[in-house]
Structure 1
Amino acid sequence: MPVAHLSDRGVVSVTGADAASLLQGLVTCDIDRLQPGEASLGALLTPQGKILFDFLIVHAPAGTLPGLENGGFLLDVAAASAADLAKRLNFYKLRAKVVVSNHGDDFAVAVRWNDEGPQLPGLVWVDPRLGALGQRAVAPAAAVAGTADADANAAHMAAWRAHRIALAVPEGGADYAFGDVFPHEADLDQLGAVAFDKGCYIGQEVVSRMHHRGTARTRMVAARLEADAIASQGDDIMAGEKRLGDIRARAGAHAIAMVRLDRYADALANNVTPTVGGAPVTLTRPVWATFDMAGN
Protein backbone atom coordinates (compact mmCIF):
# COMPACT_ATOMS: atom_id res chain seq x y z
CA MET A 1 0.00 0.00 0.00
CA PRO A 2 1.46 3.44 -0.91
CA VAL A 3 1.91 6.18 1.67
CA ALA A 4 -1.28 7.61 3.19
CA HIS A 5 -1.42 11.30 4.00
CA LEU A 6 -3.51 11.43 7.18
CA SER A 7 -5.33 14.68 6.55
CA ASP A 8 -7.37 14.14 9.72
CA ARG A 9 -4.22 14.56 11.81
CA GLY A 10 -2.52 17.79 12.86
CA VAL A 11 0.85 18.70 14.37
CA VAL A 12 1.64 20.76 17.47
CA SER A 13 5.25 21.48 18.41
CA VAL A 14 6.64 22.18 21.87
CA THR A 15 10.15 23.64 21.81
CA GLY A 16 12.46 25.57 24.09
CA ALA A 17 14.72 24.93 27.06
CA ASP A 18 11.86 23.86 29.35
CA ALA A 19 9.87 21.81 26.80
CA ALA A 20 10.67 18.40 28.28
CA SER A 21 10.05 19.41 31.90
CA LEU A 22 6.75 21.11 31.02
CA LEU A 23 5.44 18.08 29.18
CA GLN A 24 6.71 15.67 31.83
CA GLY A 25 4.51 17.36 34.43
CA LEU A 26 1.42 17.40 32.22
CA VAL A 27 1.06 14.24 30.12
CA THR A 28 0.64 10.55 30.93
CA CYS A 29 3.72 9.15 29.17
CA ASP A 30 7.32 9.47 30.37
CA ILE A 31 8.90 12.24 28.30
CA ASP A 32 12.28 11.83 30.05
CA ARG A 33 12.68 8.35 28.55
CA LEU A 34 12.24 9.48 24.96
CA GLN A 35 15.50 9.64 23.07
CA PRO A 36 15.73 11.79 19.93
CA GLY A 37 13.78 10.05 17.17
CA GLU A 38 11.69 7.99 19.60
CA ALA A 39 7.94 8.31 20.10
CA SER A 40 5.23 7.34 22.57
CA LEU A 41 1.49 7.38 22.75
CA GLY A 42 0.35 9.85 25.40
CA ALA A 43 -2.57 11.89 26.66
CA LEU A 44 -3.44 15.09 28.46
CA LEU A 45 -6.15 14.50 31.05
CA THR A 46 -8.69 16.45 33.04
CA PRO A 47 -8.03 16.72 36.79
CA GLN A 48 -10.70 14.01 37.11
CA GLY A 49 -8.58 11.66 34.99
CA LYS A 50 -10.51 11.68 31.71
CA ILE A 51 -8.85 12.07 28.31
CA LEU A 52 -8.86 15.61 26.93
CA PHE A 53 -6.44 14.83 24.09
CA ASP A 54 -4.55 11.75 22.97
CA PHE A 55 -1.55 11.99 20.67
CA LEU A 56 1.63 10.39 19.44
CA ILE A 57 4.55 12.44 20.72
CA VAL A 58 7.97 12.22 19.10
CA HIS A 59 11.25 13.67 20.35
CA ALA A 60 12.44 15.56 17.27
CA PRO A 61 16.22 15.76 16.83
CA ALA A 62 17.76 19.16 16.16
CA GLY A 63 17.56 20.29 12.54
CA THR A 64 15.15 17.57 11.44
CA LEU A 65 12.42 19.91 10.19
CA PRO A 66 12.14 23.61 9.36
CA GLY A 67 11.71 25.62 12.55
CA LEU A 68 13.13 22.85 14.75
CA GLU A 69 16.79 23.82 14.47
CA ASN A 70 17.24 23.12 18.19
CA GLY A 71 14.93 20.11 18.33
CA GLY A 72 11.86 19.71 20.50
CA PHE A 73 8.70 17.61 20.63
CA LEU A 74 6.04 17.07 17.97
CA LEU A 75 2.54 16.00 18.92
CA ASP A 76 0.65 14.10 16.20
CA VAL A 77 -2.96 14.79 17.20
CA ALA A 78 -6.47 14.75 15.74
CA ALA A 79 -6.58 17.77 13.41
CA ALA A 80 -9.87 18.97 14.87
CA SER A 81 -8.21 19.15 18.31
CA ALA A 82 -4.83 20.65 17.38
CA ALA A 83 -5.74 24.29 18.00
CA ASP A 84 -7.35 23.47 21.36
CA LEU A 85 -4.35 21.40 22.42
CA ALA A 86 -1.95 24.24 21.57
CA LYS A 87 -4.14 26.67 23.50
CA ARG A 88 -4.23 24.36 26.53
CA LEU A 89 -0.47 23.87 26.54
CA ASN A 90 0.07 27.62 26.26
CA PHE A 91 -2.23 28.05 29.26
CA TYR A 92 -0.08 25.70 31.34
CA LYS A 93 3.35 26.99 30.34
CA LEU A 94 3.18 30.16 32.50
CA ARG A 95 6.75 31.51 32.60
CA ALA A 96 8.45 28.38 31.29
CA LYS A 97 10.90 28.85 28.42
CA VAL A 98 8.66 27.09 25.94
CA VAL A 99 7.17 27.87 22.55
CA VAL A 100 3.97 26.01 21.61
CA SER A 101 2.92 26.15 17.95
CA ASN A 102 0.00 24.71 16.01
CA HIS A 103 1.49 24.05 12.59
CA GLY A 104 -1.82 23.98 10.75
CA ASP A 105 -0.95 23.81 7.06
CA ASP A 106 2.84 23.82 7.58
CA PHE A 107 3.35 20.16 8.54
CA ALA A 108 1.42 17.00 7.68
CA VAL A 109 1.30 13.43 9.01
CA ALA A 110 1.87 10.37 6.83
CA VAL A 111 1.84 6.62 7.49
CA ARG A 112 3.31 3.54 5.80
CA TRP A 113 2.44 0.14 7.21
CA ASN A 114 4.22 -2.36 4.98
CA ASP A 115 7.30 -2.50 2.79
CA GLU A 116 5.57 -1.39 -0.42
CA GLY A 117 5.35 2.11 -1.82
CA PRO A 118 7.66 5.10 -1.43
CA GLN A 119 9.66 5.89 1.67
CA LEU A 120 8.15 8.40 4.05
CA PRO A 121 9.49 11.96 3.91
CA GLY A 122 10.56 14.10 6.87
CA LEU A 123 10.93 12.87 10.44
CA VAL A 124 10.07 9.16 10.47
CA TRP A 125 9.50 6.91 13.49
CA VAL A 126 8.06 3.49 14.26
CA ASP A 127 4.50 3.67 15.60
CA PRO A 128 5.00 3.03 19.33
CA ARG A 129 1.56 1.54 19.84
CA LEU A 130 2.02 -1.61 17.79
CA GLY A 131 4.63 -2.77 15.30
CA ALA A 132 1.96 -3.81 12.80
CA LEU A 133 0.91 -0.15 12.51
CA GLY A 134 4.20 0.50 10.70
CA GLN A 135 5.90 3.88 10.37
CA ARG A 136 4.63 7.41 10.78
CA ALA A 137 6.16 10.69 9.73
CA VAL A 138 5.81 14.43 10.14
CA ALA A 139 7.03 16.38 7.12
CA PRO A 140 6.42 19.68 5.34
CA ALA A 141 2.89 19.55 3.99
CA ALA A 142 4.02 19.91 0.36
CA ALA A 143 6.28 16.85 0.66
CA VAL A 144 3.46 14.70 2.02
CA ALA A 145 0.82 16.00 -0.39
CA GLY A 146 3.02 15.02 -3.31
CA THR A 147 2.83 11.31 -2.45
CA ALA A 148 -0.66 10.83 -3.98
CA ASP A 149 -3.47 12.79 -5.61
CA ALA A 150 -6.61 13.50 -3.58
CA ASP A 151 -8.68 10.59 -4.95
CA ALA A 152 -5.91 8.06 -4.46
CA ASN A 153 -5.17 9.36 -0.97
CA ALA A 154 -8.82 8.97 0.07
CA ALA A 155 -8.52 5.27 -0.76
CA HIS A 156 -5.20 5.05 1.10
CA MET A 157 -6.73 6.67 4.19
CA ALA A 158 -9.68 4.26 4.10
CA ALA A 159 -7.29 1.31 3.84
CA TRP A 160 -5.27 2.65 6.76
CA ARG A 161 -8.39 3.08 8.87
CA ALA A 162 -9.49 -0.49 8.07
CA HIS A 163 -6.04 -1.77 9.04
CA ARG A 164 -6.15 0.06 12.37
CA ILE A 165 -9.64 -1.18 13.15
CA ALA A 166 -8.71 -4.77 12.26
CA LEU A 167 -5.96 -4.46 14.89
CA ALA A 168 -8.49 -2.97 17.37
CA VAL A 169 -6.33 0.08 18.12
CA PRO A 170 -8.63 2.96 19.16
CA GLU A 171 -8.08 6.65 18.48
CA GLY A 172 -9.57 9.57 20.35
CA GLY A 173 -11.94 11.83 18.47
CA ALA A 174 -12.69 9.00 16.03
CA ASP A 175 -13.63 6.09 18.32
CA TYR A 176 -14.39 7.89 21.57
CA ALA A 177 -15.27 11.43 22.56
CA PHE A 178 -12.70 13.51 24.37
CA GLY A 179 -13.66 14.31 27.96
CA ASP A 180 -15.81 11.18 28.36
CA VAL A 181 -13.33 8.31 28.76
CA PHE A 182 -10.63 7.27 31.23
CA PRO A 183 -7.26 6.07 29.87
CA HIS A 184 -7.92 2.48 30.94
CA GLU A 185 -11.27 2.47 29.12
CA ALA A 186 -9.50 3.45 25.88
CA ASP A 187 -6.75 0.85 26.53
CA LEU A 188 -4.08 3.55 26.75
CA ASP A 189 -2.46 1.65 29.62
CA GLN A 190 -2.16 -1.37 27.31
CA LEU A 191 -0.62 0.66 24.48
CA GLY A 192 2.22 2.21 26.47
CA ALA A 193 0.65 5.64 26.94
CA VAL A 194 0.67 5.68 30.75
CA ALA A 195 3.85 5.61 32.84
CA PHE A 196 2.88 4.40 36.30
CA ASP A 197 6.36 5.00 37.72
CA LYS A 198 6.85 8.67 36.78
CA GLY A 199 6.20 11.80 38.81
CA CYS A 200 2.94 13.70 39.02
CA TYR A 201 0.88 14.75 36.01
CA ILE A 202 -2.66 16.05 35.63
CA GLY A 203 -5.19 13.37 36.57
CA GLN A 204 -2.54 10.95 37.85
CA GLU A 205 -4.21 10.16 41.16
CA VAL A 206 -7.38 8.84 39.53
CA VAL A 207 -5.50 6.85 36.89
CA SER A 208 -3.12 5.33 39.44
CA ARG A 209 -5.98 4.34 41.74
CA MET A 210 -7.86 2.70 38.87
CA HIS A 211 -4.73 0.80 37.88
CA HIS A 212 -3.74 -0.47 41.31
CA ARG A 213 -7.27 -1.34 42.41
CA GLY A 214 -8.14 -2.98 39.10
CA THR A 215 -11.38 -1.02 38.84
CA ALA A 216 -11.48 -0.60 35.04
CA ARG A 217 -14.76 -2.34 34.23
CA THR A 218 -15.09 -0.88 30.73
CA ARG A 219 -12.63 -1.57 27.90
CA MET A 220 -12.19 -1.19 24.17
CA VAL A 221 -12.21 -4.68 22.62
CA ALA A 222 -12.07 -6.28 19.19
CA ALA A 223 -15.41 -7.20 17.61
CA ARG A 224 -16.05 -9.54 14.70
CA LEU A 225 -19.30 -9.11 12.79
CA GLU A 226 -21.04 -11.16 10.18
CA ALA A 227 -20.36 -9.80 6.70
CA ASP A 228 -24.00 -8.78 6.14
CA ALA A 229 -24.60 -7.48 9.68
CA ILE A 230 -26.16 -4.04 9.82
CA ALA A 231 -24.10 -2.29 12.46
CA SER A 232 -22.41 1.08 12.65
CA GLN A 233 -20.83 3.42 15.17
CA GLY A 234 -23.02 3.90 18.23
CA ASP A 235 -25.14 0.76 17.79
CA ASP A 236 -25.78 -1.09 21.05
CA ILE A 237 -24.32 -4.52 21.79
CA MET A 238 -26.86 -6.59 23.69
CA ALA A 239 -26.90 -9.83 25.66
CA GLY A 240 -30.58 -10.63 25.78
CA GLU A 241 -32.14 -7.54 27.37
CA LYS A 242 -28.90 -6.32 28.93
CA ARG A 243 -26.73 -3.74 27.18
CA LEU A 244 -23.03 -4.68 27.12
CA GLY A 245 -21.71 -1.64 25.27
CA ASP A 246 -21.63 -0.28 21.74
CA ILE A 247 -19.77 -0.27 18.44
CA ARG A 248 -17.18 2.53 18.24
CA ALA A 249 -15.73 1.92 14.76
CA ARG A 250 -16.32 -0.54 11.92
CA ALA A 251 -14.53 -1.56 8.73
CA GLY A 252 -16.05 -4.60 7.02
CA ALA A 253 -16.29 -7.54 9.39
CA HIS A 254 -13.95 -5.92 11.92
CA ALA A 255 -15.00 -3.43 14.58
CA ILE A 256 -13.87 -1.81 17.81
CA ALA A 257 -16.37 -1.94 20.66
CA MET A 258 -16.53 -0.40 24.11
CA VAL A 259 -17.84 -3.06 26.48
CA ARG A 260 -18.59 -3.50 30.16
CA LEU A 261 -16.43 -6.51 31.02
CA ASP A 262 -18.49 -7.56 34.03
CA ARG A 263 -21.64 -7.71 31.93
CA TYR A 264 -19.82 -9.61 29.20
CA ALA A 265 -18.59 -12.11 31.82
CA ASP A 266 -22.19 -12.58 33.01
CA ALA A 267 -23.29 -13.24 29.43
CA LEU A 268 -20.57 -15.86 29.02
CA ALA A 269 -21.49 -17.53 32.30
CA ASN A 270 -25.12 -17.74 31.20
CA ASN A 271 -24.32 -18.84 27.61
CA VAL A 272 -25.93 -15.72 26.14
CA THR A 273 -24.55 -14.71 22.73
CA PRO A 274 -23.89 -10.97 22.31
CA THR A 275 -25.69 -9.38 19.38
CA VAL A 276 -25.74 -6.07 17.54
CA GLY A 277 -28.72 -5.19 15.38
CA GLY A 278 -30.03 -8.69 16.06
CA ALA A 279 -26.95 -10.37 14.54
CA PRO A 280 -24.32 -12.21 16.61
CA VAL A 281 -21.04 -10.45 17.36
CA THR A 282 -17.84 -12.04 18.66
CA LEU A 283 -16.01 -9.99 21.26
CA THR A 284 -12.35 -10.70 22.00
CA ARG A 285 -9.43 -9.09 23.76
CA PRO A 286 -7.11 -7.39 21.23
CA VAL A 287 -4.10 -9.59 20.49
CA TRP A 288 -1.76 -6.97 21.98
CA ALA A 289 -3.69 -6.54 25.24
CA THR A 290 -3.31 -8.33 28.58
CA PHE A 291 -6.47 -7.43 30.51
CA ASP A 292 -8.94 -10.12 31.56
CA MET A 293 -12.05 -10.28 29.37
CA ALA A 294 -13.80 -12.21 32.11
CA GLY A 295 -13.84 -9.05 34.23
CA ASN A 296 -11.81 -10.48 37.10
Structure 2
Amino acid sequence: MVQSLSYAPLVSRAVIALGGADWRDYLHNLISQNVETLAVDEIRFGALLTPQGKVLYDLFLIGREDGCWLDVAAEHRDVILQRLMIYRLRAKVTIAPDEAEVAVLFGQGEAPGEGWLADPRLPELGWRGYSLPAPLGAAEGDEADYAAFARSLGVPGPADWGIEQTYPIEANFDLLNGIDFKKGCFVGQETTSRMKRRGTVKTRFLPIAFEGEAPAPGAEVLAGDLRAGAVLSGADGLAMASLRLDRIEGADLTVDGRPVRVVRPGWFERALNP
Protein backbone atom coordinates (compact mmCIF):
# COMPACT_ATOMS: atom_id res chain seq x y z
CA MET A 1 0.00 0.00 0.00
CA VAL A 2 1.27 3.45 -0.90
CA GLN A 3 2.14 5.37 2.26
CA SER A 4 2.30 8.91 0.86
CA LEU A 5 0.64 10.80 -1.95
CA SER A 6 1.94 9.95 -5.41
CA TYR A 7 1.46 12.04 -8.54
CA ALA A 8 1.00 10.28 -11.88
CA PRO A 9 0.24 11.82 -15.28
CA LEU A 10 -2.35 9.72 -17.13
CA VAL A 11 -1.24 9.83 -20.75
CA SER A 12 -3.86 7.17 -21.47
CA ARG A 13 -6.57 9.77 -20.86
CA ALA A 14 -7.59 12.82 -22.89
CA VAL A 15 -10.20 15.57 -22.68
CA ILE A 16 -13.17 16.61 -24.81
CA ALA A 17 -14.78 20.03 -24.24
CA LEU A 18 -18.53 20.56 -24.64
CA GLY A 19 -20.29 23.92 -24.68
CA GLY A 20 -23.16 25.78 -26.29
CA ALA A 21 -26.71 26.54 -25.23
CA ASP A 22 -27.91 22.91 -25.33
CA TRP A 23 -24.87 21.02 -24.04
CA ARG A 24 -26.50 19.97 -20.77
CA ASP A 25 -29.74 18.52 -22.20
CA TYR A 26 -27.86 16.95 -25.09
CA LEU A 27 -25.38 15.07 -22.89
CA HIS A 28 -27.93 14.21 -20.21
CA ASN A 29 -29.85 12.10 -22.72
CA LEU A 30 -26.76 10.16 -23.79
CA ILE A 31 -24.76 9.01 -20.78
CA SER A 32 -25.45 7.01 -17.63
CA GLN A 33 -24.76 9.95 -15.30
CA ASN A 34 -26.98 12.90 -14.36
CA VAL A 35 -25.84 16.02 -16.21
CA GLU A 36 -28.71 18.35 -15.32
CA THR A 37 -27.53 18.79 -11.73
CA LEU A 38 -23.78 18.94 -12.45
CA ALA A 39 -22.19 21.95 -10.75
CA VAL A 40 -19.11 23.92 -11.76
CA ASP A 41 -15.92 22.14 -10.59
CA GLU A 42 -17.86 18.98 -9.76
CA ILE A 43 -16.71 15.64 -11.14
CA ARG A 44 -18.87 12.59 -11.82
CA PHE A 45 -18.20 9.14 -13.24
CA GLY A 46 -20.28 7.48 -15.93
CA ALA A 47 -20.34 5.80 -19.31
CA LEU A 48 -21.61 5.96 -22.83
CA LEU A 49 -23.41 2.67 -23.51
CA THR A 50 -24.55 0.83 -26.59
CA PRO A 51 -28.32 0.79 -27.26
CA GLN A 52 -28.19 -2.80 -25.95
CA GLY A 53 -26.78 -1.54 -22.65
CA LYS A 54 -23.11 -2.57 -22.80
CA VAL A 55 -20.20 -0.28 -21.96
CA LEU A 56 -18.79 1.54 -24.97
CA TYR A 57 -16.61 4.09 -23.18
CA ASP A 58 -16.19 5.14 -19.57
CA LEU A 59 -15.87 8.84 -18.82
CA PHE A 60 -15.45 11.41 -16.08
CA LEU A 61 -17.67 14.47 -16.38
CA ILE A 62 -16.28 17.78 -15.06
CA GLY A 63 -18.50 20.85 -14.70
CA ARG A 64 -17.11 24.10 -16.20
CA GLU A 65 -18.35 27.69 -16.24
CA ASP A 66 -19.22 27.48 -19.94
CA GLY A 67 -19.95 23.76 -20.33
CA CYS A 68 -18.10 20.62 -19.31
CA TRP A 69 -15.08 18.45 -19.92
CA LEU A 70 -15.19 14.74 -20.63
CA ASP A 71 -12.17 12.80 -19.40
CA VAL A 72 -11.98 9.77 -21.74
CA ALA A 73 -9.55 7.13 -23.00
CA ALA A 74 -7.03 8.91 -25.23
CA GLU A 75 -6.90 6.09 -27.77
CA HIS A 76 -10.66 6.37 -28.31
CA ARG A 77 -11.07 10.16 -28.18
CA ASP A 78 -11.44 10.60 -31.94
CA VAL A 79 -14.03 7.83 -32.16
CA ILE A 80 -15.93 9.27 -29.19
CA LEU A 81 -15.89 12.69 -30.84
CA GLN A 82 -17.36 11.18 -34.01
CA ARG A 83 -20.08 9.39 -32.04
CA LEU A 84 -20.97 12.55 -30.14
CA MET A 85 -21.24 14.42 -33.44
CA ILE A 86 -23.67 11.80 -34.76
CA TYR A 87 -25.96 12.30 -31.76
CA ARG A 88 -25.78 16.09 -31.94
CA LEU A 89 -28.38 16.52 -34.72
CA ARG A 90 -29.78 20.06 -34.36
CA ALA A 91 -28.69 20.66 -30.79
CA LYS A 92 -26.73 23.84 -30.17
CA VAL A 93 -23.62 22.12 -28.86
CA THR A 94 -19.92 22.60 -29.50
CA ILE A 95 -17.76 19.48 -29.25
CA ALA A 96 -13.98 19.63 -29.60
CA PRO A 97 -10.78 18.07 -28.28
CA ASP A 98 -9.10 19.97 -25.46
CA GLU A 99 -5.41 20.10 -24.57
CA ALA A 100 -5.94 19.71 -20.81
CA GLU A 101 -3.70 16.99 -19.38
CA VAL A 102 -5.04 14.44 -16.91
CA ALA A 103 -3.20 13.43 -13.74
CA VAL A 104 -4.02 11.67 -10.47
CA LEU A 105 -2.94 11.95 -6.85
CA PHE A 106 -3.25 8.72 -4.91
CA GLY A 107 -2.11 7.06 -1.73
CA GLN A 108 -2.19 8.16 1.89
CA GLY A 109 -2.17 11.88 2.59
CA GLU A 110 -4.13 15.06 3.15
CA ALA A 111 -6.41 16.56 0.52
CA PRO A 112 -4.44 18.61 -2.03
CA GLY A 113 -5.05 22.24 -2.87
CA GLU A 114 -7.42 24.00 -5.23
CA GLY A 115 -8.25 22.39 -8.54
CA TRP A 116 -7.90 18.76 -7.48
CA LEU A 117 -11.21 16.86 -7.61
CA ALA A 118 -11.97 13.91 -5.35
CA ASP A 119 -12.51 10.74 -7.35
CA PRO A 120 -16.31 10.26 -7.47
CA ARG A 121 -16.08 6.47 -7.55
CA LEU A 122 -14.44 5.90 -4.20
CA PRO A 123 -12.78 8.37 -1.78
CA GLU A 124 -9.79 6.07 -1.29
CA LEU A 125 -8.89 6.44 -4.97
CA GLY A 126 -7.62 9.98 -4.39
CA TRP A 127 -8.00 12.95 -6.73
CA ARG A 128 -8.00 13.80 -10.42
CA GLY A 129 -6.52 17.01 -11.80
CA TYR A 130 -6.39 18.72 -15.18
CA SER A 131 -3.21 20.52 -16.28
CA LEU A 132 -2.09 20.83 -12.66
CA PRO A 133 1.50 20.45 -11.45
CA ALA A 134 2.47 17.89 -8.83
CA PRO A 135 1.89 19.25 -5.30
CA LEU A 136 4.97 19.90 -3.22
CA GLY A 137 6.16 16.71 -1.57
CA ALA A 138 4.21 14.28 -3.76
CA ALA A 139 6.17 11.25 -4.89
CA GLU A 140 6.62 10.61 -8.60
CA GLY A 141 4.46 7.76 -9.87
CA ASP A 142 3.25 6.41 -13.18
CA GLU A 143 0.20 4.78 -14.70
CA ALA A 144 1.31 1.29 -13.71
CA ASP A 145 1.57 2.41 -10.07
CA TYR A 146 -1.91 3.90 -10.22
CA ALA A 147 -3.39 0.82 -11.91
CA ALA A 148 -1.89 -1.39 -9.19
CA PHE A 149 -3.23 0.94 -6.50
CA ALA A 150 -6.76 0.88 -7.95
CA ARG A 151 -6.58 -2.89 -8.28
CA SER A 152 -5.54 -3.19 -4.63
CA LEU A 153 -8.79 -1.41 -3.77
CA GLY A 154 -10.76 -3.76 -6.00
CA VAL A 155 -11.70 -1.07 -8.51
CA PRO A 156 -11.76 -2.23 -12.15
CA GLY A 157 -10.70 -0.11 -15.12
CA PRO A 158 -11.06 0.09 -18.91
CA ALA A 159 -8.68 -2.84 -19.42
CA ASP A 160 -11.21 -4.99 -17.58
CA TRP A 161 -14.50 -4.03 -19.20
CA GLY A 162 -13.28 -3.45 -22.76
CA ILE A 163 -15.63 -2.16 -25.46
CA GLU A 164 -19.10 -3.64 -26.06
CA GLN A 165 -18.23 -6.65 -23.90
CA THR A 166 -19.67 -5.87 -20.48
CA TYR A 167 -22.85 -4.60 -18.90
CA PRO A 168 -21.97 -1.68 -16.60
CA ILE A 169 -23.54 -3.33 -13.56
CA GLU A 170 -21.28 -6.36 -14.04
CA ALA A 171 -18.31 -3.97 -13.89
CA ASN A 172 -19.75 -2.41 -10.68
CA PHE A 173 -20.59 0.97 -12.22
CA ASP A 174 -23.73 0.99 -10.07
CA LEU A 175 -21.68 0.49 -6.89
CA LEU A 176 -19.09 3.10 -7.89
CA ASN A 177 -21.51 5.99 -8.56
CA GLY A 178 -21.39 5.51 -12.33
CA ILE A 179 -25.14 5.17 -12.99
CA ASP A 180 -27.98 7.47 -11.96
CA PHE A 181 -31.09 5.29 -11.94
CA LYS A 182 -33.37 8.26 -11.22
CA LYS A 183 -32.39 10.45 -14.17
CA GLY A 184 -34.68 8.93 -16.77
CA CYS A 185 -33.79 7.93 -20.30
CA PHE A 186 -30.28 7.59 -21.71
CA VAL A 187 -28.76 5.33 -24.34
CA GLY A 188 -28.84 1.76 -23.00
CA GLN A 189 -31.04 2.73 -20.05
CA GLU A 190 -33.74 0.11 -20.57
CA THR A 191 -31.44 -2.89 -20.19
CA THR A 192 -29.47 -1.30 -17.36
CA SER A 193 -32.56 -0.44 -15.33
CA ARG A 194 -34.12 -3.86 -15.93
CA MET A 195 -31.03 -5.65 -14.62
CA LYS A 196 -31.04 -3.51 -11.49
CA ARG A 197 -34.78 -3.74 -10.93
CA ARG A 198 -35.01 -7.50 -11.34
CA GLY A 199 -31.88 -8.22 -9.34
CA THR A 200 -30.64 -10.55 -12.05
CA VAL A 201 -26.96 -9.61 -11.82
CA LYS A 202 -25.20 -12.98 -11.75
CA THR A 203 -21.74 -11.74 -12.68
CA ARG A 204 -19.55 -9.13 -10.96
CA PHE A 205 -15.95 -7.98 -11.27
CA LEU A 206 -13.90 -8.83 -8.18
CA PRO A 207 -10.19 -9.21 -7.41
CA ILE A 208 -8.62 -12.64 -7.08
CA ALA A 209 -5.41 -13.28 -5.15
CA PHE A 210 -2.84 -15.98 -5.91
CA GLU A 211 0.84 -16.83 -5.66
CA GLY A 212 3.18 -15.71 -8.43
CA GLU A 213 2.55 -14.02 -11.75
CA ALA A 214 -0.89 -13.18 -13.05
CA PRO A 215 -2.70 -15.67 -15.27
CA ALA A 216 -3.25 -14.62 -18.87
CA PRO A 217 -6.33 -12.48 -19.55
CA GLY A 218 -9.18 -14.79 -20.47
CA ALA A 219 -7.93 -17.72 -18.38
CA GLU A 220 -10.83 -19.63 -16.87
CA VAL A 221 -11.64 -19.46 -13.18
CA LEU A 222 -12.94 -22.90 -12.18
CA ALA A 223 -15.01 -23.99 -9.19
CA GLY A 224 -14.21 -27.68 -9.35
CA ASP A 225 -15.15 -28.59 -12.91
CA LEU A 226 -17.55 -25.65 -13.35
CA ARG A 227 -16.55 -22.44 -15.08
CA ALA A 228 -16.93 -19.66 -12.51
CA GLY A 229 -15.51 -16.78 -14.51
CA ALA A 230 -12.49 -15.44 -16.35
CA VAL A 231 -9.36 -13.46 -15.52
CA LEU A 232 -9.24 -9.84 -16.72
CA SER A 233 -6.22 -7.58 -16.09
CA GLY A 234 -3.66 -8.24 -13.39
CA ALA A 235 -0.12 -8.37 -12.07
CA ASP A 236 1.86 -10.52 -9.65
CA GLY A 237 -0.34 -11.68 -6.79
CA LEU A 238 -3.58 -9.93 -7.76
CA ALA A 239 -5.89 -9.68 -10.77
CA MET A 240 -9.40 -8.60 -11.59
CA ALA A 241 -11.80 -11.32 -12.67
CA SER A 242 -15.33 -11.54 -13.98
CA LEU A 243 -17.00 -14.01 -11.61
CA ARG A 244 -20.29 -15.87 -11.38
CA LEU A 245 -21.53 -15.00 -7.90
CA ASP A 246 -23.60 -18.19 -7.64
CA ARG A 247 -20.54 -20.37 -8.27
CA ILE A 248 -17.84 -18.80 -6.12
CA GLU A 249 -19.51 -18.85 -2.70
CA GLY A 250 -17.63 -21.34 -0.54
CA ALA A 251 -15.97 -22.93 -3.55
CA ASP A 252 -12.34 -23.92 -4.00
CA LEU A 253 -11.32 -21.89 -7.03
CA THR A 254 -8.46 -22.52 -9.43
CA VAL A 255 -6.94 -20.91 -12.52
CA ASP A 256 -4.65 -23.02 -14.69
CA GLY A 257 -4.50 -25.50 -11.85
CA ARG A 258 -3.39 -22.90 -9.29
CA PRO A 259 -5.55 -22.05 -6.28
CA VAL A 260 -6.97 -18.54 -6.17
CA ARG A 261 -9.17 -16.77 -3.67
CA VAL A 262 -11.73 -14.02 -4.12
CA VAL A 263 -11.07 -10.70 -2.37
CA ARG A 264 -14.26 -8.85 -1.47
CA PRO A 265 -13.46 -5.16 -0.87
CA GLY A 266 -15.21 -3.45 2.01
CA TRP A 267 -16.85 -0.90 -0.29
CA PHE A 268 -18.27 -3.74 -2.41
CA GLU A 269 -19.89 -5.44 0.58
CA ARG A 270 -21.23 -2.16 1.97
CA ALA A 271 -22.73 -1.16 -1.38
CA LEU A 272 -24.44 -4.51 -1.88
CA ASN A 273 -25.65 -4.71 1.73
CA PRO A 274 -26.25 -1.11 2.89
- Aligned partner of 1:75 in structure 2 is 70
Q: Distance in 1 between matches of 2:14 and 2:160?
A: 17
Tell me what 1:37 maps to.
41
Amino acid at match of 1:127: D
Rounded Cα–Cα distance in structure 1 between residues aligned with 2:214 and 2:148:
17
Which of 154, 165, 175 is the aligned partner of 2:160?
175
* Structure-1 separation of matches of 2:190 and 2:204: 20
Q: 2:7 — aligned with what?
A: 3
Stretches (4+) displaced over 6 A: none
Please list the CA deviations of residues 251-278 of structure 1 after superposition, one character each: whole Å capped at 9, or x if unmatched. 332221111112224xx2xxx4101122
CA contact (8 A) 1:28 1:44 kept: yes
**Does the 8 Å contact 1:2/1:116 carry over to 2?**
no
Select between 93-102 and 108-117 the one with higher mean Cα deviation.
108-117
Select 2:260's aligned residue among 272, 275, 281: 281
Q: 2:185 is matched with which residue: 200, 206, 214? A: 200
Question: What are the within-5 Å matches in structure 2 for residues 85-234 of structure 1?
Answer: 85-103=80-98, 106-114=99-107, 123-139=115-131, 156-172=142-158, 174-226=159-211, 228-234=212-218
Cα deviations across residues 37-71 of structure 1 (Å, max 9, x unaligned)?
111111111111111111111112x3xxxxxxxx2
* Secondary structure of 2:78's aligned partner: helix
CA apart distance, 1:232: 3.4
| One-letter amino acid matched to 1:291 | L
Residue 291 (structure 1) aligns with: 272
Tell me the distance in 1 between the aligned counterparts of 2:197 and 2:108.
Answer: 40
**How many residue pairs are counted as aligned between the two chains?**
264
Report if the CA contact (8 A) 1:165-1:251 is conserved. Answer: no
For residue 129 of structure 1, report the CA deviation from its aligned partner: 0.4
Give the Å deviation of 1:120.
Answer: 7.6
TM-score (ref. length: structure 1): 0.82
* 1:148-203 alpha-carbon deviations (Å, 9 max, x no partner): xxxx96x522211110111111122x112211111111110111111111121111
Deviation at 1:83, TM superposition (A): 1.1
Contact 1:15 1:98 in 2 (8 A): yes
Aligned to 1:239: 223
- 1:121-165 CA-partner distances (Å, limit 9, x unpaired): 9x43111001111110122xxx66x99xxxx96x52221111011
Give the % identical residues.
Answer: 36
Q: CA deviation at 1:206?
A: 0.8
2:56 to 48, 52, 67: 52
Q: Deviations over 1:230-256 (max 9, x none)?
A: 523222211122111112121332221
In 1, Cα distance between the equivalents of 2:113 and 2:102? Answer: 10
Distance 2:174 2:155 in 1: 12
After superposition, the Cα gap between the structure-2 partners of 1:115 and 1:169, relative to the gap in structure 1 and judged at 3 Å, is closer
**What code does the residue aligned with 2:174 have?**
D
Helix, strand or coil: the match of 1:87?
helix
Structure 1 unaligned blocks of 5 or more: 63-70
How do 1:14-33 residues align onto structure 2 when only pairs under 5 Å count?
A: 14-33=18-37
- Aligned equivalents of 2:29 and 2:84: distance in 1? 11
How big is the shift at 1:29? Answer: 0.8
Cα distance in structure 2, aligned partners of 1:126 and 1:15? 23
Which amino acid is the alignment partner of residue 23 of structure 2? A
In structure 2, list runs of 5 or more residues that go unmatched: none
What secondary structure does 1:200 align onto?
A: coil
Secondary structure of the corresponding residue to residue 164 of structure 2: coil
What letter matches 1:90 in structure 2?
M
Amino acid at match of 1:102: P
Query: Matched residues in 1 for 2:272 and 2:264: separation?
Result: 8
